[in-house]
Amino acid sequence: MSMKVNEIFYSIEGEGIRAGMPCVFITLYGCHLNCSYCDTRYSCENNEYLEMTIEQILDIVKEYECPNITVTGGEPLIHKGIYTLLTLLSKAGYSVNVETNGTKEPFGYLKYVFYTMDFKTNSSGMSDKMNLDAFLALREDDVIKFVVGSKADLDQSVKFYR
């Protein structure tokens, strides 16, 4: 089984509960949203990706000898092979963060895998795409991320949180 991979690289996690920690990023290609503030548009446009088998992805990840993995995109949960990839990363003992856009329900809860789900505020232009069931499916160890671009976004985020 192959997946569309934009890039795999080693860096420092810049946000979330692992901010400041070393991490291997697996950026998958493609997204079904078009958020106004998208900072990874390159992972959704111009068809610049490699078709990689899951085994190839795992081989590259192993080379970095880093216990933390972030699977991002685009939107990871739209890929057919995502559950297999997450299962194999979990079985190998990696701590895996799946960054998702709040439209798809997390599935296949696995040991060592947690989800960081975006709440799309009005300034994203995609707030009508949010899936309440996706948020209700989150567990205690999962994370909700709010990108706030205005006072109205902040008010919307606080209301949702409450």
Global pTM?
Answer: 0.93
For residue 160, what are the β-bridge partners?
none
Cα-flanking dihedrals φ and ψ of residue 120, to 5°? Answer: -85, 110
- CB of 78 within 8 A of CB of 29? no
Residue 144 has, within 13 A of its CA and on its CB side, a CA count of 21
- pLDDT values of the chain reduced to their tens digit, one per residue, 162 residues: 899 999 999 999 998 899 999 999 999 999 888 888 877 877 888 888 999 999 999 999 999 999 999 999 989 999 999 999 999 999 999 999 999 999 999 877 888 999 999 999 999 999 999 999 999 999 999 999 998 989 999 999 999 989
What's the rounded Cα separation, in Å, for the pair 12 and 15? 9
**What's the pLDDT tens digit per position in 74-106?**
899 999 999 999 999 999 999 999 999 999 998
